[in-house]
């Protein structure tokens, strides 16, 4: 237990292990982050076992869709995921009744299911099982079970503690992606392996696997995919699930920087390095020391900066602009691009040697239209719940016609476009009942009053640029608004206009 050694007096004073106090503190800091949910539950179980002076703790969740109990953690490290019907064993009993259960001799209890012990050779003796939920009256989300107290049976005091901890855990779950669907009955919805990342389609499996593997190492990762697919989200997930999680995650957007400024942004500058440099500024490379540096839209890095970056990637050394001192920084690098880097290389616009350094591990994030209609609806419900909470709207309900429109759309702006649709519908439907008229009209964005006329013979790049330009104009010069109409990100607008 970190911290316990530093405050022995407080510990002795309270007469209980520090871990009883710190369970929530540990978990609370993880709630807003894209943590691996299994790891989060694992942490919770470890803290619980320690707090209860028990040999093990297990957490079972009630799966709202299947109506059974599922666990992935801590029961048996050798079994990755277990399911069992609601009502089986002690855990099932508590999930069904919602009442805390204490057993002093498991083998003698008819409700005890010995099959897990039989499979592992573990011998369960004493057990305490408590329901997990947000409040004593809320539907049961799962159960937490602690096994084999170090000395003697569990006491009444233990019962009260576990009940309180289980409630706190319920509160934590409600703030993660492992929450229940709004307004629904018991259980939680399993939406995906990472907190705040929704998706269970086959198309996403390869992404999750690679994100998990990449997070275990310091290897450079290149995230590829269309705009709005979640590249930035996954970059954060890699950092948050890596050994560098406690250190900074620093982003540099290579599109928004004019050539000369990139170098100073990355490596910093000394006072007087150029006009206006009135003080020393540390670069992002320095700020990310110990952590992760995320270079977004790496394909847009100006050619004159590519050499400097390459040197840094090779030697981890750099100089501030206008400085002579050579500095070192320990950073893990992540990159993202929506561009075809191979084409840029063949056109001589992206250095080949840099290209190989950048794409040590490649993760291709699939466009939303390849993830299937179920996934679109799952994401839509997730965003509906989220924005209803944020905007103080009642529990949202999406009309059949709305679901049909969502399922049929081809999502050129991917998850970001879907997120915007749902947020705006939630705002426009104050009673929470989302109807088709709350969705954006089917018209494509029409720049100007009469639309825009493009001459034949333009390259696709040039045509795109002009169309985007016209849309920005038609949006009164507001790039964010233009981005919304086009179903792309604001950065993408900026990038296209720069071409
Ligand atoms: N699987 C997902 N679950 C929940 N939210 C998601 C998911 N994928 C993307 N989002 C949300 O969609 C929006 C766009 O995602 P993100 O910014 O990561 O996309 P991107 O690929 O980096 O886009 P760009 O190419 O424009 O930079 C964000 O608000 C993000 O939180
Ligand atoms: Mg991004």
Question: What is the pLDDT, as a whole number, of residue 414?
Answer: 96
Contacts of 311 (CB under 8 A, 6+ apart): 317, 318
Of the pLDDT bands very low, low, confident and very high (cuts 50, 70, 90), residue 10 is very low
- What's domain 202-364's superfamily in CATH? P-loop containing nucleotide triphosphate hydrolases (3.40.50.300)
CATH entry 3.40.190.10 includes domain 8-174: no
Which tens digits make up the pLDDT trace of 167-221?
Answer: 989 998 999 998 888 777 899 998 999 999 999 999 999 999 999 999 999 999 9
The residue among 386, 373, 395 whose CA lies nearest residue 423 is 386
Under 8 Å between Cβ of 148 and 361: no
Mean predicted lDDT score pLDDT of the chain? 88
Question: What is the pLDDT, as a whole number, of residue 468?
Answer: 86
CATH entry 3.10.450.50 includes domain 370-438: no
Of the pLDDT bands very low, low, confident and very high (cuts 50, 70, 90), residue 344 is very high
Average pLDDT of the residues in 338-345: 94
**Percent of the chain scoring above 70 in pLDDT:** 90
Q: Residues of 152-178 as b/e, b for ≥16 C-beta within 10 angstroms?
A: eebeeebeebbeebbbbbbbbbbebbb
Ligand 1: residue of 199, 224, 232, 423 to mutate (most ligand atoms within 8 A of CB) is 232
d(C-alpha 126, C-alpha 280), whole Å: 63
Of the pLDDT bands very low, low, confident and very high (cuts 50, 70, 90), residue 20 is low
303 SS3 class: helix
For residue 6, report the distance from its CA to the centre of ligand 1, in Å: 41
Ligand 1: residue of 178, 199, 211, 230 to mutate (most ligand atoms within 8 A of CB) is 230
Of the pLDDT bands very low, low, confident and very high (cuts 50, 70, 90), residue 466 is confident
pTM: 0.83
CATH entry 1.10.10 includes domain 443-499: yes
Ligand nearest to the CA of residue 191, numbered in listed order: 1
d(C-alpha 23, C-alpha 383), whole Å: 29
Question: What is the pLDDT, as a whole number, of residue 272?
Answer: 87
Of the pLDDT bands very low, low, confident and very high (cuts 50, 70, 90), residue 474 is confident
Which tens digits make up the pLDDT trace of 60-117?
Answer: 999 998 889 888 654 444 455 678 888 789 999 999 999 999 999 999 999 999 888 8
Sequence ranges of the domains in the chain: 8-174, 202-364, 370-438, 443-499
d(C-alpha 243, C-alpha 456), whole Å: 53
Q: Which range in 165-179, 246-260, 362-376 is most confidently predicted, on average pLDDT? A: 362-376
Question: What is the pLDDT, as a whole number, of residue 257?
Answer: 72
Of the pLDDT bands very low, low, confident and very high (cuts 50, 70, 90), residue 21 is low
- Ligand 1, atom 26, lies closest to the CA of 227
């Amino acid at each position: 237990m970190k911290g316990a050694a530093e405050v022995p007096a407080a510990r002795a004073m309270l007469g209980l292990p520090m871990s009883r106090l710190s369970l929530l503190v540990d978990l609370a800091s993880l709630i807003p982050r894209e943590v691996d949910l299994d790891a989060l539950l694992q942490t919770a179980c470890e803290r619980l076992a320690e707090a209860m002076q028990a040999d093990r703790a297990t957490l079972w969740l009630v799966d709202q869709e299947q109506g059974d109990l599922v666990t992935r953690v801590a029961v048996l490290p050798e079994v990755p995921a277990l399911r069992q019907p609601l009502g089986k064993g002690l855990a099932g009993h508590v999930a069904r009744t919602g009442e805390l259960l204490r057993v002093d001799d498991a083998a003698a209890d008819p409700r005890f299911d010995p099959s897990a012990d039989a499979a592992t050779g573990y011998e369960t003796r004493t057990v305490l099982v408590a329901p997990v939920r947000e409040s004593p009256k809320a539907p049961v989300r799962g159960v937490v079970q602690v096994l084999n107290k170090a000395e003697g049976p569990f006491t009444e005091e233990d019962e009260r503690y576990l009940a309180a901890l289980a409630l706190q855990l319920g509160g934590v779950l409600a703030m993660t992606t492992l929450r229940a669907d709004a307004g629904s009955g018991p259980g939680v919805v399993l939406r995906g392996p990472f907190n705040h990342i929704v998706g269970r389609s086959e198309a996403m499996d390869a992404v999750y696997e690679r994100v998990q593997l990449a997070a275990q190492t310091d290897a450079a990762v290149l995230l590829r995919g269309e705009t709005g697919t979640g590249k930035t989200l996954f970059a954060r997930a890699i950092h948050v699930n890596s050994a560098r999680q406690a250190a900074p995650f620093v982003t540099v957007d290579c599109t928004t920087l004019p050539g000369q400024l990139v170098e100073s942004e990355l490596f910093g500058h000394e006072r007087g390095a150029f006009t206006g440099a009135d003080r020393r500024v540390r670069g992002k490379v320095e700020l990310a020391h110990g952590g992760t540096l995320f270079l977004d839209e790496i394909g847009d890095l100006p050619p004159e900066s590519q050499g400097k970056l390459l040197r840094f990637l090779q030697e981890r050394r750099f100089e501030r602009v206008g400085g002579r001192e050579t500095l070192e920084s320990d950073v893990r690098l992540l990159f993202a691009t929506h561009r075809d880097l191979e084409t840029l290389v063949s056109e001589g616009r992206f250095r080949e040697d840099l290209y190989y350094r950048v794409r040590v591990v490649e993760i291709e994030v699939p466009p939303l239209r390849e993830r299937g209609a179920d996934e679109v609806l799952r994401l839509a419900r997730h965003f509906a719940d989220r924005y209803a909470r944020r905007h103080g709207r009642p529990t949202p309900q999406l009309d059949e016609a709305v679901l049909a429109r969502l399922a049929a759309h081809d999502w050129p702006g991917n998850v970001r476009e879907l997120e915007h649709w749902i947020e705006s519908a939630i705002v426009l439907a104050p009673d929470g009942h989302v109807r088709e008229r709350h969705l954006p009209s089917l018209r494509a964005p029409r720049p100007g009053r009469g639309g825009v006329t493009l001459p034949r013979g333009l390259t696709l790049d040039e045509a795109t640029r002009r169309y985007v330009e016209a849309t920005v104009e038609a949006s009164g010069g507001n790039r964010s608004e233009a981005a919304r109409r086009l179903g792309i990100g604001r950065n993408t607008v900026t990038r296209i206009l720069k071409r």
